[in-house]
């Protein structure tokens, strides 16, 4: 879907020569020609990574490393705002990686997996207070179930300017999708339903358990502009389908900033 890097790898190389940069000419009605830069996978891979955070449960009864308390979550958002970070959307990240568009200073992306109800009740209002917007990856089997978001809450997040992405139907890992029917059940059908709920295209994916393989990443490039893993190695041929995120544990605000630097490097973006 709209993917310009990776599918026609050989073709892209032919058009770009050694520069690693291609330009597409788009003719407008008045024959004005707009040139748009399109980076090759190698160029995308070489660009400094934007820190992408991944939260799951936000609760006081911590049972695992996948949970942070509401107080901790709020303190994380506050230190990001106080330190001059700007939350960016996946579309901004895509435009930066593919078209070299400029990002706001100190960009960060804040993402949430598994459609928990506290994402809408706690996380979204805490972020909105600082003008931040997040990315919510929905596992669609959870619609309207106890402890999970209702379809209305999901629609509301989209309306408030947050991004809604897909996290499969029932959290089965991509490496287990063998037949066309699996891709239909886990990706194609839930994507369509989610698009109906939010009233716009769903263009981003988070891998269940962060697990991917090259074949899966390639297949996902037909459905999504970007796909997100966890802090594992990226696929150099499919860098857009293997964007790294770090799971944020219960930690101090200073600890969060330190982990971000360790995971994503200190290069200026």
Closest distance to Zn ion from the beta carbon of 190 (Å) = 14
Closest distance to Zn ion from the beta carbon of 113 (Å) = 4
Q: Which residues, in sequence order, are CB contacts of 70 under 8 Å at separation 6+? A: 58, 59, 60, 118, 122, 126
124, 149, 116, 50: CA torsion to nearest 10: -50
Please identify, using beta-carbon distances, which residue of 66 and 130 lies nearer to Zn ion: 66
Closest distance to Zn ion from the beta carbon of 208 (Å) = 5
Give the nearest residue (CB) to Zn ion: 113
Task: Tell me how many degrees the CA angle 173-174-175 measures, rounded to the nearest 5.
Answer: 90
Closest distance to Zn ion from the beta carbon of 250 (Å) = 18
Q: Which residues, in sequence order, are CB contacts of 165 under 8 Å at separation 6+? A: 90, 111, 135, 136, 137, 138, 202, 203, 204, 205, 206, 228
d(CA 191, CA 203): 9
Closest distance to Zn ion from the beta carbon of 167 (Å) = 6
Please identify, using beta-carbon distances, which residue of 114 and 118 lies nearer to Zn ion: 114
Residues within the interface to Zn ion (CB under 5 A) = 113-114
Phi-psi region of 41 (alpha: psi -120 to 50; beta: other; left: phi over 0): alpha
Please identify, using beta-carbon distances, which residue of 35 and 63 lies nearer to Zn ion: 63
Please identify, using beta-carbon distances, which residue of 67 and 113 lies nearer to Zn ion: 113
From the CB of residue 142, how many other CB atoms can be counted at a distance below 10 Å? 21
Closest distance to Zn ion from the beta carbon of 143 (Å) = 15
């Amino acid at each position: 879907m709209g993917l310009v890097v990776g599918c026609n790898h050989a073709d892209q190389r032919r058009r770009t020569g050694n520069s690693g940069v291609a330009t597409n000419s788009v003719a407008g009605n008045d024959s004005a020609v707009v040139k748009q830069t399109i980076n090759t996978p190698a160029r995308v891979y070489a660009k400094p990574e934007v820190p992408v955070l991944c939260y799951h449960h936000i609760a006081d009864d911590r049972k695992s490393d996948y949970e942070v308390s509401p107080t901790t979550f709020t303190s994380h958002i506050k230190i990001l705002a106080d330190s001059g970070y700007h939350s960016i959307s996946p579309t901004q990240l895509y435009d930066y990686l593919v078209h070299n568009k400029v990002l706001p200073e100190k960009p960060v992306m804040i993402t949430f997996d598994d459609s928990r109800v506290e994402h809408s009740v706690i996380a979204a209002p805490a972020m909105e207070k600082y003008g931040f917007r997040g990315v919510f990856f929905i596992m669609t089997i959870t619609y309207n179930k106890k402890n999970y978001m209702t379809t209305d809450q999901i629609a509301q997040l989209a309306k408030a300017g947050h991004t809604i992405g897909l996290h499969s139907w029932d959290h089965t890992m991509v490496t287990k999708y063998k037949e066309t029917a699996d891709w239909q059940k886990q990706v194609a059908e839930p994507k369509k339903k989610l698009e109906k709920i939010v009233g716009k295209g769903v263009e981003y994916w988070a891998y269940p358990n962060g697990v991917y393989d090259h074949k899966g990443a390639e297949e996902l490039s037909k459905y999504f502009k970007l796909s997100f893993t966890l802090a594992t190695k990226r696929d150099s041929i499919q860098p857009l389908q293997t964007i790294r995120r770090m799971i944020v544990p219960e930690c101090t605000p200073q600890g969060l900033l330190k982990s971000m630097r360790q995971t994503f490097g200190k290069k200026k973006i």
